[in-house]
Structure 1
């Protein structure tokens, strides 16, 4: 599964985390929880506040539940889907729709984790993850979440293609105020553009293009699709960087290579594989006595000025 999740300057290229990586993250979290419980038990045992054995037993049970269930709930809520183990291995819990994990979902996962891992020693989680196509354990099924990996190839080795119809406009852009994280969000969206459904392509593209347009002037021509606008901005930004630092390598260690621009339409596609075949220009039609066709309707635009999907 490939998806892009954006929000509050957070960009996630969604890849379902592999079970071995999830198991290592879980082991790290359980070790931290055991250390916390041992420390709290020792503190309670050496304290003179709790002297009644029955009360001490009740306090021990309460502390165990709070550590076992409260640890993942607090961490995942505060860090938007990360515990210490997930943070160490580049994992995150997100909603099935790609949005950030909510407190209710973290609570369901935490309570289910007490039964899955501490009561039945992980057997329910193992069986559920083997049955689920997306590797979900019972807590993920009940909460409507999935564990994803944020690490991996970012696709930055693929050059952004300049839409031919926007090349002249792009050379007039003021790009000095564009933050790097916003440009990174646009790049990751374009990398995964072909993997998204048309509705997600448009909705997410308009959202990111609106963020970019807040830092870039002048605005795009009317009716430009969001992906074409973002492609033009990033391609022009890269062209200027290459002109300013012609000998500087890219951040991923590969010197940029020139790739011919495909021209399947007026705005092209956001990305193309290297050595993409060129589309030959259309041949001129022979003269005809028939009446000319009616003019094409003007493209509809959204409130942000970007054309919706056809």
Structure 2
């Protein structure tokens, strides 16, 4: 079974089940960071406008002007990002746009400590170097982690799943009992995609070609299905695809529920 160290694409749940996860890609993460940077600079600009207005009214002296400037920098580039990340459970505006969420390397929800470390180092690697240091570390790490992520033990996980294909394979009622005990997890992803493509295009094929391709695919699928049901080739392919799709959707739902549950517990603590 895979471990977080052995496989960068898998984590172990509390039930010792390997869950396939996908980190946000480097380009998407950079785009999300750019959105967050623009938001932070807009907030800072608003503080500057407020500062100038207060100065025109004579409400800020020389020392007050300096204190206000430092406070504006701290709030805009540290307090705001940390507060938003904690309040949204790891999702800032930029991450929401690109479909990502900051989580721990083991898949759990982040806490204030993680966000504070990321925010503090983010001032150095994002704003002081205009994102240069973050780009370098993100490009050299498998999960596009910047320096703050490496120190805090976090990364950006993709939470926006792609849309399902229009064709949804259906499980025949005659195979309901078989589906309760069937094992289709060993089916290779490449072969599973070929089966899905065939099922999606089967109605547009001639009967002879449809039957031939179904038989060939059924022969390839058979070694990865246990027990093998007694069913026509195309019915077998439909059943395998439907069962695999249902179990993958269930695994994703369980992973999302577990992440939300862990996040809720962290917030209550």
Report the TM-score when normalising by structure 2.
0.57
Establish whether residue 16 from structure 1 lines up as the match of residue 23 from structure 2.
yes
How many residues are matched? 190
Deviations 1:58-112 (A, max 9, x none): 2111211111012221111111111111111211111100112221111111111
Structure 2: unaligned runs, 5 residues or longer: 1-7, 188-199, 204-213, 230-235, 241-269
What is the rounded CA distance, in whole Å, between the counterparts of 2:139 and 2:169 in structure 1? 38
For the 8 Å contact 1:25–1:86, the answer to whether it is kept is: yes
- From the superposition, tell whether residues 91 and 54 of structure 1 become closer, same or farther in structure 2 (CA, over 3 Å): same
Pair 165,94 (structure 1): closer, same or farther in 2 beyond 3 Å: same
1:19 is displaced (CA, Å) by: 1.2
Correspondence 1:221-236 to 2 at 5 A: none
SS across alignment from 2:48: helix
CA RMSD in angstroms comes to 4.3
Cα distance change on mapping 1:106 and 1:161 into 2, 3 Å: farther
Q: Deviations over 1:87-140 (max 9, x none)?
A: 112111111001122211111111111000111222221221222122211010
Higher helix share: 2
> Is the contact made by 2:103 and 2:156 (CA closer than 8 Å) also made in structure 1?
yes
Kept in 2: contact 1:50–1:56 (CA 8 A)? no
Q: Partner residue of 2:37?
A: 30
Deviations 1:181-234 (A, max 9, x none): xxxxxxxxx99x779xxxxxxxxxxxxxxxxxxxxxxxxxxxxxxxxxxxxxxx
Contact 1:5 1:99 in 2 (8 A): no
Q: Work out whether residues 26 and 144 of structure 2, in 8 Å CA contact, stay in contact via their aligned partners in 1.
A: yes
Matched, 1:264 2:226: yes
Show structure 1 runs of 5+ residues with no match. 171-189, 196-253, 268-273, 279-310
CA distance in 2, matches of 1:72, 1:46: 25
- The residue that corresponds to 1:104 in the other structure is 113
